[in-house]
Amino acid sequence: MSKLIFDPLEEYRDKFKGLHDQNVNRFFDELVQKSGINIPENDLTVKEIDNLNIKIDNEEKVLRRARRIRGFLLFLFIAALIVFILFIVAAVQGEESSLTMSVGARVGIAIGVIVFGIAMLIIVIKVLRPRIKDSQARLSDLISKRDEKIRLAWAQVNPLNELFDANMTPMLVEKTIPLLTMDPFFDSKRLDYLVRKYGLSDFTPDNESAEFVQSGEIQGNPFILARTLVMNMGTKTYTGTLTVSYTVTVYVNGKAQRQTRTETLRASVNKPCPYYNNDTYIIYGNEAAPNLIFSRYPQLPLDWTEKSLRRFVEKEEKEMKKLSEKALKQGKQFTPLGNTEFEALFNAYDRNHELEYRLLFTALGQSEILDLIKDKKVGFGDNFQFFKNKNLNLVRSKHSQAFDYSGNPRNYYHYDNKEIRKRFVDYNNNYLHRFYFNIAPVLAIPLYQQHKPHEFIYQTEYKSHLSFYEHESTVNQFPSSAFAHPDSHTQNILKTKVVQKGKDFDTVSVTSYGFTTVERVDYVPKMAGNGTIHNVPVHWTEYIPVEKESHATIKVLDEESVKKTQNESFFDKIGEYLSKYTPDQKPVTGRHVMAFLVASKFADDDNEGLDKLFK
């Protein structure tokens, strides 16, 4: 049976969505069986925890109520004491009139009030204080029992938690969609393939660092799913104020009068400021239509209607006609397709090759793209950008920007086996949904799936095992303090350079680029209402670049070693062994890799010792 996807939207709705949910649940069941955890036993413990939580909530309500009553009674006592003092003072003064009470009445009221206050205090001391103390003791006992049960529940499910790793998510995607091949890591061969065959740059700019990368292929055509941290220098507006006073002469009824007026002067300055943002995108290489260049941006708002769509297409049809006439006069080519709805919604008016554009977007391709753009129920609709530059395609979808594609096993950890299942199933279903509709615009083009790449001759030797994308995404798993300059007050862009290639590891220099900050003040002259000039202070922050170089070793792990790193006690042994290299930072793991800090290089003898630990 063909693996090709002929209708991305329909096949996800009718096939892949349900199939993936089945595969994920079935795989989770296999993990549970492999872990050997006792589900009924954990269910009983979790039920006891839930019951204890209910009792704790009820006891906290009782305690809060008792404290509120105590507070109210103490308030009454204090109020009674104040009234008592006031009436006693009035009685001692002995003032009487027809409008006031007698001294005796005042004394009587004072005694009655203080008796009432003392009664309130006695209730607080004799009744509420013991009740609150008993409630606190019960609450403390319940919390202690609950915490003990939680520790027991964690111990019951830890064998399951230790089986999770970041490779499971891409493996499940492969199982559901055999058309996709997901790499265990982005190695130098895959990068060389993308660079020499498809024209991908073999570096990213200094203001950009990869935080996550997943490489793979579709029918032999490579892709990478990447998430980067990008720094761009922009400007920030700072404002300041100064309040000034001055005297003016005014005339009232023909007479001169002096008046003091107050005015607030405002000033602003624009200064350079670094801005950081994440960017998630897919890069896909395909030799079909090798000369074609175009770009498209989302056109449909989320609340579009058939009426608004029709008006938009009519407006764009007029724009196409103008562009076609202009191109003809300039000796260029722009011939709109017969499908004006596709032309308007895909909106790739800047294309440079009409023939290849038509080869790529056949009637079927147009129909599939339109389905994706107009969809409101299955996918995410028209929220994607699509850029083609000869053999490279870049797709950037809004729905992918905030999603964590790392597959971090910690996303699933919990003490309740049912909650673990829910987290595992929800995350993996969400992963496929978002990843699939990120790459769907590529899948919607039939020629891309039909076109298989020509033969490629790889180099016999590479300077590193892993690509720079993998290097950067791995070192970005460390805490930011591991590489940041001590004076850096901003986020940091990490860039790597290979300094050593071992048997199964790369050592890279890691340069961290950030900014230290210095508070400054500018004085901006502003004119007040009386014509005088005042210097308004505007406080602003100067960002001064700082950088620091460190070194890290990234070791490639086989399947068995990856599983061992999920065991906390075993990982502690690894950390202890590497402590002479990285005493202050624990190693980190990714998909099939482990990284740790080193002074400059990693000794081969130590790598052999590390291998023995894994064996």
Residues 204 and 124 in one domain: no
How many Cβ atoms from other residues are within 10 Å of residue 529's Cβ?
11
Helix 417-443 and helix 17-35, axial crossing angle in degrees, nearest 10: 140
| CA 341, 344, 345, 346 torsion-angle sign | positive
Q: State residue 265's pLDDT score.
A: 96
Cβ distance 157 to 37 under 8 Å? yes
Q: How far is CA 252 from CA 75, 249, 256, 340, 376, in A?
A: 57, 10, 6, 74, 70
Residue 220 has pLDDT above 60, yes or no: yes
284 residue type, one letter:
Y
pLDDT confidence band for 107 (50 / 70 / 90): confident
- Domain assignment of residue 455, yes or no: no
Cβ distance 176 to 428 under 8 Å? no
- Domain assignment of residue 11, yes or no: no
Distance CA 210, CA 227 (A): 6
Q: State residue 332's pLDDT score.
A: 82
What distance, in Å, lies between the first and last C-alpha atoms of the chain?
A: 41
Q: State residue 64's pLDDT score.
A: 93
Q: State residue 249's pLDDT score.
A: 82
Distance CA 355, CA 362 (A): 11
User: Interior CA angle at 297 toward 291 and 303, to 5°?
Assistant: 150
Distance CA 290, CA 391 (A): 5
- Domain assignment of residue 8, yes or no: no
Residue 344 has pLDDT above 70, yes or no: yes
Could you give the percent of the chain with pLDDT greater than 90?
73
Three-state SS for 260?
A: strand
Residues 190 and 258 in one domain: yes
Residue 251 has pLDDT above 70, yes or no: yes
How many Cβ atoms from other residues are within 10 Å of residue 376's Cβ?
12
- Domain assignment of residue 589, yes or no: yes
> What is the total count of domains within the chain?
3
Q: What is the pLDDT of residues 3-52, one digit of tens each?
A: 789 899 999 999 999 999 999 999 999 999 999 999 999 999 999 999 99
Q: What is the pLDDT of residues 365-423, one digit of tens each?
A: 999 999 999 999 999 999 999 999 999 999 999 999 999 999 999 899 999 999 999 99
Residues 148 and 271 in one domain: no
Q: What is the pLDDT of residues 505-561, one digit of tens each?
A: 999 999 999 999 999 999 999 999 889 999 999 999 999 999 999 999 999 998 888
Residue 494 has pLDDT above 90, yes or no: yes
Residues 156 and 187 in one domain: no
Distance CA 596, CA 482 (A): 10
Helix 417-443 and helix 363-374, axial crossing angle in degrees, nearest 10: 140
Residue 99 has pLDDT above 70, yes or no: no
Distance CA 406, CA 242 (A): 51
Q: What is the pLDDT of residues 299-315, one digit of tens each?
A: 998 889 999 999 999 99
Own/partner contacts of 309-316, CB < 8 Å, gap of 24 or more, are 309/341, 309/374, 312/344, 313/340, 313/341, 313/344, 313/345, 316/340, 316/343, 316/344, 316/347
User: DSSP E strands: which ranges in 253-315?
Assistant: 255-285, 293-296
- Please report, to the nearest 10 degrees, the dihedral formed by the alpha carbons of residues 119, 122, 123, 129 taken in order: 160
Q: State residue 89's pLDDT score.
A: 79
pLDDT confidence band for 100 (50 / 70 / 90): low
- Any residues with CB less than 8 A from the CB of 530 and at least 6 apart, and which? 246, 248, 261
Residues 67 and 118 in one domain: yes
Residue 491 has pLDDT above 90, yes or no: yes
Residues 57 and 146 in one domain: yes
Q: State residue 210's pLDDT score.
A: 96
What element of type H or E holds 231? strand 221-252
Task: Look up residue 187 and give its DSSP letter.
Answer: B
Distance CA 498, CA 464 (A): 7
Encode 402-439: b = buried (16+ Cβ within 10 Å), e = exposed: ebebbbbbebbbbbbbeebbeebbebbbebbbbbbbbb
Residues 194 and 117 in one domain: no
Residue 1 has pLDDT above 70, yes or no: no
Q: What is the pLDDT of residues 143-194, one digit of tens each?
A: 999 999 999 999 999 999 989 999 999 999 999 999 999 999 999 999 999 9
Residues 353 and 217 in one domain: yes
292 residue type, one letter:
L
Distance CA 34, CA 37 (A): 8
- Domain assignment of residue 410, yes or no: no
Q: Which of 357, 382, 397 is the last residue of a domain?
A: 397
Q: Which of 342, 367, 397 is the last residue of a domain?
A: 397
Distance CA 248, CA 261 (A): 7
Residues 393 and 489 in one domain: no
pLDDT confidence band for 94 (50 / 70 / 90): low
Average pLDDT, the chain: 92
Q: State residue 85's pLDDT score.
A: 84
Q: State residue 92's pLDDT score.
A: 72
Domain limits for position 559: 468-614
Residues 82 and 46 in one domain: yes
Q: Which of 397, 425, 460 is the last residue of a domain?
A: 397
Q: State residue 564's pLDDT score.
A: 84
How many Cβ atoms from other residues are within 10 Å of residue 568's Cβ?
10
Distance CA 43, CA 160 (A): 14
Query: What DSSP string runs through 240-256?
Result: EEEEEEEEEEEEETTEE
